[in-house]
Amino acid sequence: MTKVMTAEEVAASVESGMTVGIGGWGSRRKPMALVRAVLRSPVRDLTLVSYGGPDVGMLCAAGKARRVVAPFVTLDSIPLEPHFRRARQAGAIEFTEYDEGMFMFGLLAAAHRLPFLPTRAGLGSDVMRVNPGLRTVRSPYADGEELVAVPALTMDVALVHMNRADVRGNAQYLGPDPYLDDLYAKAAARCYVSCERVVDDLLEEGPLQSLLISRSMVTGVVEAPGGAGFTSCEPDYGRDEALQRRYAESPWEEWDER
C-alpha cells in the first residue's frame, strides 16, 4: 500500500490548535518543504515541539505559533534564530524552555505512552525556576533520590525529513546523526515523512542500521528533493550558509510565501 502524499495534503491535515513536533536539530535536516506548506495553510495557534531552527522561526514570524516547547532555537552557525527572538521579545508566543536532556526524556515518555519520565537533568538549574509547573518525584527504592518528573511531550502530528523512504513509509537517514526523529515518529498520533527520494529498496542505499523509522509509525510520505533546504541534509547536501544568512538578516515579509 502506498502512503505517498503531497506536502499540501500533509498541511491540510494539520488543524488550528494542534501540537506539532518537528524533527531535525537546529538548522540540520529540518522538514522545510512541509513547514512551508503549513505556512501557506490557514492554520493558527499551533504548539511547536522542536529542537528548534528556522522551522520555529518561520512559523512564529507568520503568526502560526501560540506556544513553543524547545531547549533552544538556533541556526547553528548563527547562534539565535532571529525571527523567533523577535516573536519572543514581543511577547507574541508562549515559551517553555527545557534542558536538552529533559526535552529528550519528554519525547521518550510520549513515545512509550507514559505520563512522565524521571531524570536528574535540570536539578539545581534555573530550568526548575522558569518552569514552576515542573514537579519532582522520589525514587521508591532505598536511596530515595529526588528526580525531575518530565511530562510527556505528546504530539498530534510529527513532521520529519529523511534522506530516503519507500512508498510504505519506512524511512532512512544516511548522515551522521538521527537527531531523535524516531522519537518524534513514536510520540505523535500521526507522523509525516518528507524525503530526498522515494526508492524501491532502502538496503541498496545504506546499511540496515540506517533504517530509522518504521512504516508502522508513518501516515504519509512526501518526496521532496531539497526539502530540507536551506538547512543541511548530509550527505545529500550541506547547509546553504549564504541563503541562511540572508534569511537571518532580512525582514520576514521577504520570505512569507502566503
Q: Does position 72 have pLDDT exceeding 90, yes or no?
A: yes
Query: Each residue of 184-218: pLDDT tens digit?
Result: 999 999 999 999 999 999 988 999 899 999 999 99
pLDDT tens sequence across 111-130 = 999 999 999 998 988 999 99
Instruction: Report pTM.
Output: 0.95
Contact between 63 and 42 (Cβ < 8 Å) = no
Query: Which residue segments constitute the domains of the chain, with CATH numbers given?
Result: 7-117+152-250 (3.40.1080.10)
Q: Read off the C-alpha cell for 93.
A: 508566543
- pLDDT attached to residue 108: 98
Q: What is the pLDDT of residues 156-183, one digit of tens each?
A: 999 999 999 999 999 999 999 999 999 9
